[in-house]
Amino acid sequence: MKRLINRFCLGMLVLLATQACKESEIATAVNDGVAPGPVTGLTVTNLSGAATIKYILPSDPDVLYVKAVYKTK
């Protein structure tokens, strides 16, 4: 029984190692040299100790993220 458990653990280890080593392709960044447009449709809903921010991304394919800057009192 102990031998069976050891073989099972070894098999799982090999399976995990082979799955972890696969290369995954991340979406390629499009860089046309022009900054993407600003976000539009900005709405802010103030909540107790939080806020919900909704916006519409520009249709530029090179938008990777949106950065929000805020100040606290």
Q: In whole angstroms, what is the distance from residue 29 CA to residue 5 CA?
A: 46
**What pLDDT sits at residue 46?**
92
Structure tokens at 7: 């073989």
Per-residue pLDDT of the chain (73 residues; tens, 9 = 90+): 888 888 888 888 877 777 766 666 776 677 778 888 899 999 999 999 899 999 999 988 888 888 888 888 8
**What pLDDT sits at residue 61?**
82
**What pLDDT sits at residue 7?**
83
User: Global pTM?
Assistant: 0.52
